[in-house]
Chains A and B, each alone.
Chain A
């Protein structure tokens, strides 16, 4: 085994060293241009994708090259069990991944830690392991795809999607990664068999292969249903030309949540005010909106703080906005989790400029400062928010100034948005309106001009549209982020805020759900089991995700007619599975098992069945060209094995 390991390493040594060098150079370039340890979302996605592609490509190349008939015989013609051979190959791949991905990353982190002035947290040393883990997971996926006789094998790549749980708290991220790695390793090892044309048959392996295929089929079917309904609606209402020219958002009827979701700020406000056509004040306001300046708040602007403050810790290495930039002095302040303080680094000289503590003071030594109780969030380049407090980097760069403090029990939950003299920030209970000029000019705590209580739950908040009036502002809150499956209500609520800060509720308009129930509950319809398991898994893995679905919500079933429909779909899947299984000549136990799986998982189960079974081959039946070519040498290998 060691000999095989060594020979495999020798086989890829040039390639591995070249990639390692290239990776190191790339990291050095990134380090010279940006903060390597605090990647933004795009850089993090790109680097993760790069590591994934490297692992996948290596797995495919390694196994495809071995699976050629003469190579395969040569490889397996050893005094080793196939698992031992696979273990040697996988260990070689893991060592290559460590060399190509892990080592350069580790060297760069060590360089920053030892030679640079930048403060490196212990969590940053987890980065090479995570990156190697990503690459190895895709490597095993690549091995499985290369060796599996099923064309559906590539669907196992849905498993690493769980790495998106970067929001998983603390060490949870490694737990998820370990599970996915083991899962894919098991699949790859099981596929590494003398006759690679054989489909998995052991129950554990079959279950491990069925789950990702069913999960992928579940999503494909759910998306397909939604797309078919959308295109069908446009086609029916507007003809074939509608598909190319029609504005896709317009097919949702007025008064529905998806319709409002696609509207611009002005139209969304008008839509809300249209709830009452006879009220003169509302009519007057609606007439003015075409002329008013309207600000739309949605997405990350609305949720930024919520992402971080709901978690006890930042992700292990992916800082989500825990750095401030003092452009005037070219200083970047990055948050150290080990110290729970901000560490300043000159962007010009690369030298340390000191530490910032929770009391707002600045010092050269971290021991003199008061630590933050929790990880703060940068809500603008100069502002940061702890759960209750809003700080600003002082103009003289000499510390943090407290600018606002929330009442007990409230938490900052959004970015700080400045627009036309108004600075807005949302807590989990209210929207705060500050005078931007006052915030800019004054240095102490600034009282907000208005506090507008949120007329609904923060998780369900979809957007806020703010129109400027001559004597105040008009605000429309749209709730319904989680309304698609009717677990939460969808509605718009309009309030008027005077210059003096007085908040006057004006009107509320409830919103319909939009598409018909069978489209909105398409996931449940396709597979109630997978849908509920999906919700449960993500709620457990990433409980702080805005818009997560709570356990009690998961327990609530959809309307009875949909349950009946889902049951019928499951029965149809089971019947189809039983029929096809019979035609394929599966034995009784297998037929029963697949029928039960198809009933439990619905249509995705049927697709998994199609992927992992094939018509039984008989002596008379002409073998397919592919299996013929592939199986002949492998049978030879079997013979040679048995003779030893």
Chain B
């Protein structure tokens, strides 16, 4: 189940992959380049091709870019100088090749780079001939037992590159003893030469910290008693002043301290998350304590539409001052926080024909533009991001690293489907959001959703997460096969304010949350595809009038984790909604899944996950609530399931007991329901790794095409790679339902795939189609 991320339990990579498989469109393809070979340019192996340009980082002065190219083994890191909004090719040089480099950050003085792998941090001086060197270990490190035999553990996390220092980063180290009595938390500063300085050591847990200067440290702490996040200023003498609080589920973070002003992001007042500021001198000058009422939070403008939370924040790299707010839950929108930026945003948007983009501007201390800016163009129809250089003096925008991007063989944009934001009213009148992808190919003027055009509902996990309108291999594949894809951000999803999250009110299973999904499908069924295609955003207030009597609409539902739970619920409680379902890592009983959570699991805010879930999601320890949830869980509705179902599960899933999934599948099989169970014994909760993702996509593709009456891909493919995933699936199938039949030959092995041929690489021509 895709709970909010628990510290030390789920990696960001796992979350991203999970979201992708749950139908989230935030994924830039994780998986590696398969040997592209199919005639279909939107074949799965093409959609999974990793971008050749893995990362581009603009120097703080805007005069150089460091970029990382994906290589056969690992990646290579390059540096090139910029001049007037263009690259100076003669300055291009390869800095290093590494097999485990994951991300790159510039030091604020531009003299070196900080290079991060999955478990270490290195620095690289940009002087010629210099070599990279490890400067810190990240993640969990088990210490050797000391003389008394006590073994302690250390967990180190990178907080940020310090913008106000030439070349240093801050780390948070958690030192745990066996009995927990001597736990301590440190804020460490490490410079590019590996010198480590302890800025603060405290026995009280904090999750983030900022050095505000003069010995003052701003701490972001969990308050386990009130289940709130609290921000405090700790003076050099050890005294503390509480600054501000926010709720456990609010996305509150420290941003920076700039000229005595503390910048925070989150929901401190109001429903939507935004950026706030606080003058520290007013607080720190007063020794009297924690009268928070006197602290006036300066609030920057929130979403002008008043709909979505702040998603990401772009800051000035040498000061930390917020420059741009990005809102993405209803489209990719940039909001200028610094004067003068709005015009540039408009200018860039015009040149990119309104496409979604991110911007890294560079401003001097007076707020005037300097250097060259980096524009990253992305969206559902861009397989691999495009990078542009923007000269703020001339307003000229030019693509950079285009040749390298094309070497990654991205799928041409005109072959990809556009993601449309959907707004619809649920049966209780509340407005609910989601995203819709229509089939890429023309389907005729009268083609209707759920009738001529199959509709696949992808339900995201969480439930505390949301779908964005970004590229996803899964949804693009389905759209390319002629299916429409609907991804509802049902109430309880994040991204639309606190009230939207809280509106779920614990009504999971056969309840309000699931009804939002059903309502969304009902609003879409029977809609004419070509009418929808003409809309930028789809607003559906009522069920279509000319909806024919659909006994079995061409609808399928699928989801991962909580999305899988909803899928099972849909098949059990609304059996006429969908012809088939796919549920991966799906709990069959929410109460049992909640109670199985590890006691020590924590939210990113440091609060205990179980306590927060009980307070904000559902009080599963309340007998009455638990009984209600059990009555409305898929397990309780098992006898009503009739439609074909495919269950996928991980043998090592810490959140969903594999025994529950097996028992559920067996019970369905005994009743004669067409159920298939695929278990990867080595997998956890997320579907991770290129092979596992590939297998998942292939199975989903075939299963849905079969049950929704989509023409299957003809021919055969006997390449080693295809044989490889088919072999893995052969090994993982525990129950082969009838729905696997079209995938399986007489010997019980999976049928071969579509014929292979070289794809047409994307060309510059695809840049126009978005």
Interface residues of A (CB under 8 A from B): 281, 284, 287-288, 291-293, 328, 395-396, 421, 435, 438, 441-444, 449, 468-471, 498-500
Contacts and interface: CB of A to CB of B under 8 A. Distances in A.
Interface residues of chain A: helix, strand, loop or mixed (majority): loop
B100 interface: yes
22 contacts: A284-B133, A288-B194, A291-B120, A291-B136, A291-B137, A292-B120, A293-B119, A395-B724, A441-B691, A442-B720, A443-B724, A469-B132, A469-B134, A470-B100, A470-B101, A470-B120, A470-B124, A470-B133, A471-B96, A471-B97, A499-B74, A499-B99
Interface string B719-753: 01001100110010000000000000000000000
Given A435-B73, A449-B73, A470 B98 contact: yes
B571 interface: no
B70 to A, nearest CB: 13
Nearest to B132: A470
Contacts of B132: 469-471
A395 B691 CA distance: 14
Interface in B110-160: 115, 117, 119-120, 122, 124, 131-137
A499 B691 contact: no
A37 B642 CA distance: 53
A288 B131 CA distance: 12
Contacts of A287: 133, 194
B97 A498 contact: yes
Given A288-B194, A396-B727, A441-B691, A499 B133 contact: no
Nearest to B723: A396
Contacts of B724: 395, 441, 443
Nearest to A437: B73
Nearest to A501: B73
A443 B137 CA distance: 35
Contacts of A444: 720
Nearest to A285: B133
B727 A395 contact: yes
A442 B724 CA distance: 9
Interface string B643-654: 000000000000
A282 to B, nearest CB: 12
B556 to A, nearest CB: 31
A396 B731 CA distance: 9
Contact of B98 (A284, A291, A438, A471): A471
Given A288-B194, A292-B134, 20 more contacts: A281-B131, A284-B133, A291-B134, A291-B137, A291-B194, A395-B724, A395-B727, A395-B728, A396-B727, A421-B100, A435-B99, A441-B724, A444-B720, A449-B73, A468-B100, A470-B96, A470-B101, A470-B117, A499-B73, A500-B97
Contacts of A498: 97
Contacts of A292: 120, 134
A54 B715 CA distance: 69
A421 B97 contact: no
B712 to A, nearest CB: 24
**Contact-size category for B:** 20 to 34
Contact of B133 (A288, A395, A421, A500): A288
Nearest to B73: A435
A351 B3 CA distance: 47
A475 to B, nearest CB: 16
Nearest to A467: B134
A443 B720 CA distance: 7
A291 B119 CA distance: 10
Given A449-B73, A498-B97, A470 B115 contact: yes
Contacts of A421: 99-100
Contacts of B194: 287-288, 291
Contacts of B134: 288, 291-292, 469-470
A517 to B, nearest CB: 35
Contacts of B100: 421, 468, 470
Interface string B55-85: 0000000000000000001100000000000
Contacts of B119: 293
A435 B73 CA distance: 8
A442 B72 CA distance: 13
Contacts of A395: 724, 727-728
Contacts of A435: 73, 99
A444 B96 CA distance: 29
Give 7 closest A-B pairs by Cβ, nearest first. Answer: A291-B134, A499-B97, A471-B96, A288-B134, A470-B132, A470-B122, A443-B720
A388 B720 CA distance: 25
A291 B97 contact: no
A291 B135 contact: yes
Nearest to A281: B131
A105 B119 CA distance: 53
Interface in B630-679: none
Contacts of A469: 132, 134
Nearest to B728: A395
Nearest to B141: A291
A441 B725 CA distance: 10
A471 B131 contact: yes
Nearest to A420: B100
A458 B404 CA distance: 45
A507 B115 CA distance: 27
B720 to A, nearest CB: 5
Interface in B498-537: none
Interface centre among A421, A438, A499 (most CB of B within 10 A): A499
B490 to A, nearest CB: 38
Nearest to A245: B147
Nearest to A288: B134
Nearest to A264: B144
A435 B727 CA distance: 22
A622 B739 CA distance: 100
A436 to B, nearest CB: 10
Contacts of B136: 291
A312 to B, nearest CB: 37
A123 to B, nearest CB: 35
B131 A284 contact: yes
A136 to B, nearest CB: 48
Contacts of A284: 131, 133
Contacts of B101: 470
Contacts of B723: 396
